[in-house]
Amino acid sequence: MEIHNQRIASLEGTRAKFYDFLDQYIQPEADQAESSRLTAATADSSQAIPCYVTQLQRMKDSEKTTLYVQWEHLVDYDLELAQFIQDHYHLLEPYLRKALQNLVRTHIEAYSVNEGDQSEKEFWVAFYNLANLDKLRNLRTEQIGKLRGFSGTVTRTSEVRPELFLASFRCLECNTVVRDVEQHFKWTTPVICTNETCGNRRSWALVREESKFIDWQKVKVQEKSDEVPAGSLPRTMEVILRNNVVESARAGDEMTFVGTLLVVPDVAAITAPGEKVQTKPGQGGFQGQGISGLKMLGCRDLTYRLVFLASATQEEVYLSYTEDQQTELDQMKANAQIYRDLTKSISPQVYGHDDVKRAVLLMLFGGVHKQTKEGINLRGDINVAIVGDPSCGKSQILKYVSSFLPRAVYTSGKSSSAAGLTASVVKDADSNEFCIEAGALMLADNGICCIDEFDKMDVKDQVAIHEAMEQQTISIAKAGIQASLNARTSILAAANPLNGRYDKSKPIKYNVALPPAILSRFDLMHVMIDEPEDDMDIQIATHIVKVHQRQERAFNVPYTMAQVQRYIRYARSITPQISAQAKDVLVSSYIQLRAGDAVGGAVYRITVRQLEALVRLSEAHARIRCSAVIEPRDVREAKRLVKSSIIAVETTEQEHKEKLMPWQSLNRALGRALESTLFVQRLREVEAAGEAAGSSAEPSQAGLPQKDLLSWYFDKMVESHQYQSVDELSKDYVLVCKIVHHLIKRDNVLIVLSTPSRSDEESSQDFARRQQQERVLAVNPNYSLE
């Protein structure tokens, strides 16, 4: 008895000390802004003296009953008290709530009772910013009852249900009412009737009117991917949310939970398959006292509080940065070349492919979500597809994006089913009811879903994401559940071409096994082609060797990943508006793209979806500049990206037929003999002259530059009076260039011996034009002129 009294005195002493802490602690000025943000403060933070007394008024204004206590404040005030609370949290939790209740009664007495029946109102204490967080798989039985914290990804949430917290029972033998019986995660009745002459222990009836219920929700949390050891499966744990923190976790959120580890009976594990969970009477007049053995492993339920309270306005996002970060942000906004520098900072381990990186960058910034008066949502997320030859770095870009954002999911197409991508209906083991478990697209809500090997997906699985890609919802009609779930995510897909290599002579529908309905839902589709080119191969090889040699020091990027993340976080809070000039440029750009699509037969058509893509890309480009107005330059860059991605790789059927046109028909149109014969004869004359010159001849004399070959040809044509005007010669020049290209690429009559090198100040277009003119041609040794 004496030990029990000493224990009660110790607990009461802790309650008194915690009350003094809440009533007296003055917050340091450096932490006031942070505390104001985390507690969703609306008042001036300068009034936070003492800080927790001020928070009481904010609790009253927002009608909340949870007080958020920063752990560092308690450690700073009394280290011994903080350590005692952490080691005996579950035992002390009622006393901490009592201290808070006394504090409210002292400062805001009217708020300490319920308005209706004037009963005492229950208040809750939630700690955050614990010094050390545990890994989910490291939570063990020795930590039961202690204050702990861990991080994980929410994969499933249950509906909010009432939980009996403090029950009032009526004795069925003497009608005495026993009040405030705390429920310890199970149906708990009084041990004995308080009437000294009764002695009842079993016959009780619940008095619902005098009992107290609280909100209750169960969420399923999975271990973070970066904490899973090699060769292990990610662990999961069920977390109990109570009171004000219900409905604050969504599937896909990466969250930190703080609370205590408990052991409760696992009812589902001890029932037979298919048996309902229900109360059964004891046999032979004896009441069941529980279950023993290996099946009584228990499930660990935790009462937790969320750390992060999201802000949705630009000013609050800006103020959440430190002073140095705000200065850095202002410098990035003032950078006139921010678009170029951010592109260089995206996926630095992949060399080149700047337009692909620009597409990924615009996808990270995203467009603006809109909603019409009729309630129709217009998506602002940008979908990007990358089609390319093997070893071009597609998967590297996807892996970079999946690690860049907190709400990003990486999956492979062949191993992903329709239910795994969208959502599945599973049966809850406790309630025996069906519930929805989130798939990859739901987990990436307000983020990015990266799907590798997109072309390997089954057709039925591809159809499942049609709705998610355009309407950004997932409709479920299974097991009596009919729901429309949000999937507001961007999709970054990577696909390999058929037959291993991309054939530039064929349209994209002959290269990728994707239906037109899927292709039209991508705003940008880029093709990465692996072509042998000496200069580019040297640069790529040098870059890869440098990465292996110096690792992260090999990347000399303008901005680090953390800087880009902060800049994107700020820029996404801006909502740019379309100016009158940008509107005219948008309309004219769409008309020009639409006019180029007049020829039928293409698998990728320019439709209103591409017009909406132009709008989204323009909004994202304006966000990069941190501009609230979309300017014509934003639209022009969006048009350039659309043309360089879709139009450049999509060869229409008409163009394809022109390339495959029999050269006899082309020659009949020219009205003279086959030029290839003249070219072959001229190049063999040059080759023979080089062999006659002996060993002193240079190897390049075996061939002839294309410009010299064409100059010789047109000199012959002019001497024979084949042309009547300069315009006629110019038109013929274009056709002859096509013939030379055809002889190289398709007929293999001519081969390219060497190409010129590119100078530093030379643009891509100028170099391509000079390369075509100065490349050295020769006759294929295997070609026989009959």
pLDDT digits (tens, 9 = 90+) for 511-568: 887 887 888 888 888 888 887 777 778 888 888 888 887 766 666 788 888 888 888 8
Least confident stretch, 244-253, 349-358, 625-634 = 244-253
Is 324:261 a contact under the CB 8 Å cutoff? no
SS (H, E, C) 272-290: CCCCCCCCCCCHHHCCCCC
Least confident stretch, 312-326, 337-351, 352-366, 368-382 = 312-326
User: Does the structure show a pLDDT above 60 at 670?
Assistant: no
The span from the CA of 717 to the CA of 675, in Å, is 11
Is 647:598 a contact under the CB 8 Å cutoff? no
pLDDT band for position 620 (cuts 50, 70, 90) = very high
Domains of the chain, by residue range, sit at 2-128, 136-269+296-306, 314-651, 661-779
User: Does the structure show a pLDDT above 60 at 45?
Assistant: no
User: Does the structure show a pLDDT above 70 at 584?
Assistant: yes
- Compute the residue count for the chain: 786
Q: Which of 526, 530, 463 is nearest to 503 (CA)?
A: 530
- Per CATH, the number for 2-128 is 3.30.1640.10
Q: Which of 571, 612, 548 is nearest to 342 (CA)?
A: 571
pLDDT cut 90: percent of the chain above it: 3
Q: What is the pLDDT of residue 647?
A: 55
> What's the angle, vertex CA 389, arms to CA 387 and CA 390, rounded to 5?
115
pLDDT band for position 298 (cuts 50, 70, 90) = very low
598-615: b or e for each residue (b if 16 or more CB lie within 10 Å)?
eeeebbbbbeeebbbbbb
> What's the angle, vertex CA 702, arms to CA 696 and CA 705, rounded to 5?
125
* Residue 326 Cα distances to 22, 338, 717, angstroms: 33, 16, 70
| Residue 377 bridge partners (DSSP) | 371
Q: Which of 406, 467, 472 is nearest to 154 (CA)?
A: 406
Element at 342 (helix H, strand E): helix 338-345
The span from the CA of 181 to the CA of 212, in Å, is 10
User: Does the structure show a pLDDT above 60 at 295?
Assistant: no
Architecture of the CATH domain 136-269+296-306: Beta Barrel (2.40)
pLDDT band for position 396 (cuts 50, 70, 90) = confident
**161-171 and 204-206: which strand pairing?**
antiparallel
- Per-residue tokens: 479: 């097991």
**434-438 and 423-427: which strand pairing?**
antiparallel
Q: In the predicted model, what is the mean pLDDT of residues 411-439?
A: 77
Q: In the predicted model, what is the mean pLDDT of residues 341-366?
A: 87
The span from the CA of 18 to the CA of 81, in Å, is 8
Q: In the predicted model, what is the mean pLDDT of residues 700-708?
A: 74
The span from the CA of 679 to the CA of 709, in Å, is 7
The span from the CA of 365 to the CA of 235, in Å, is 33
pLDDT band for position 691 (cuts 50, 70, 90) = low
The span from the CA of 624 to the CA of 576, in Å, is 11
- Per-residue tokens: 737: 């260039």
User: Does the structure show a pLDDT above 60 at 659?
Assistant: no
User: Does the structure show a pLDDT above 80 at 505?
Assistant: no
Q: What is the dihedral of CA 386, 389, 392, 394, to 10 degrees?
A: 30
The span from the CA of 524 to the CA of 763, in Å, is 24
Q: How deeply is 339 buried, as exposed, middle or buried, from its count of CB atoms within 10 A (0-12, 13-18, 19+)?
A: middle
pLDDT band for position 704 (cuts 50, 70, 90) = confident
List, in sequence order, the alpha helices (H) in 405-533.
Answer: 418-421, 440-443, 459-464, 466-470, 516-519
- Name the 3-class secondary structure at 5: helix
Amino acid at 710: L
Q: What is the pLDDT of residue 619?
A: 92
Helix 608-624 to helix 354-365 angle, to the nearest 10 degrees? 80
Q: Which of 411, 575, 392, 379 is nearest to 492 (CA)?
A: 411
Give the pLDDT confidence of 721-770 residue by residue, as tens digits.
777 777 777 878 888 888 887 778 777 778 887 888 877 777 767 777 88
The span from the CA of 576 to the CA of 407, in Å, is 24
Q: Which of 30, 637, 587, 142 is nearest to 354 (CA)?
A: 637
| Residue 106 bridge partners (DSSP) | none
E-assigned strands of 538-684? 577-578, 629-630
Q: What is the pLDDT of residue 129?
A: 81
The span from the CA of 33 to the CA of 319, in Å, is 8
pLDDT band for position 771 (cuts 50, 70, 90) = confident
Q: Tell me what percent of the chain is helix, strand and coil, each rounded to the nearest 5.
A: 45, 20, 35
Q: Which of 97, 121, 98 is nearest to 111 (CA)?
A: 121
Q: What is the pLDDT of residue 618?
A: 92
Can you say whether residue 192 is alpha, beta or left, with left for phi > 0 and alpha for psi between -120 and 50 degrees?
beta
- Per-residue tokens: 312: 């949705």
The span from the CA of 684 to the CA of 669, in Å, is 27
Q: What is the pLDDT of residue 305?
A: 32
Q: In the predicted model, what is the mean pLDDT of residues 145-168?
A: 84
User: Does the structure show a pLDDT above 70 at 599?
Assistant: no
Q: What is the pLDDT of residue 596?
A: 63
pTM for this model (two decimals): 0.63
Is 204:171 a contact under the CB 8 Å cutoff? yes
The span from the CA of 739 to the CA of 751, in Å, is 13
List, in sequence order, the alpha helices (H) in 551-579.
Answer: 561-571
Residue for token digits 């003119």? 773
* Residue 378 Cα distances to 384, 489, 639, angstroms: 17, 13, 20
Q: What is the pLDDT of residue 646?
A: 61
Q: Which of 220, 250, 154 is nearest to 485 (CA)?
A: 250
Is 504:529 a contact under the CB 8 Å cutoff? yes
Whether domain 314-651 has CATH 3.30.70.380: the reply is no
Q: Which of 237, 29, 206 is nearest to 135 (CA)?
A: 237
Helix 338-345 to helix 354-365 angle, to the nearest 10 degrees? 100
User: Does the structure show a pLDDT above 80 at 777?
Assistant: yes
Element at 69 (helix H, strand E): strand 66-70
11 alpha carbon, distance to own chain's centre = 47
- Name the 3-class secondary structure at 212: strand
Q: What is the pLDDT of residue 372?
A: 80
450 alpha carbon, distance to own chain's centre = 8
Element at 778 (helix H, strand E): strand 776-779
Mean pLDDT of the chain: 76
Find the distance separating the first CA and the last CA of the chain, reported in whole Å: 117
How many CB atoms sit inside 10 A of residue 327's CB? 11
What kind of fold does domain 661-779 have according to CATH?
A: Methane Monooxygenase Hydroxylase; Chain G, domain 1 (1.20.58)
pLDDT band for position 32 (cuts 50, 70, 90) = low
Q: What is the dihedral of CA 252, 256, 260, 266, to 10 degrees?
A: 10
Q: How deeply is 274 buried, as exposed, middle or buried, from its count of CB atoms within 10 A (0-12, 13-18, 19+)?
A: exposed
User: Does the structure show a pLDDT above 60 at 393?
Assistant: yes
User: Does the structure show a pLDDT above 70 at 699?
Assistant: no
Q: In the predicted model, what is the mean pLDDT of residues 205-221?
A: 85
**124-128 and 66-70: which strand pairing?**
parallel
453 alpha carbon, distance to own chain's centre = 18
Q: In the predicted model, what is the mean pLDDT of residues 678-694?
A: 70
Q: What is the pLDDT of residue 606?
A: 76
pLDDT band for position 268 (cuts 50, 70, 90) = very low
Residue for token digits 């022109």? 658
The span from the CA of 190 to the CA of 180, in Å, is 10
User: Does the structure show a pLDDT above 80 at 77?
Assistant: yes
The span from the CA of 185 to the CA of 204, in Å, is 18
User: Does the structure show a pLDDT above 70 at 237?
Assistant: yes
The span from the CA of 178 to the CA of 171, in Å, is 8
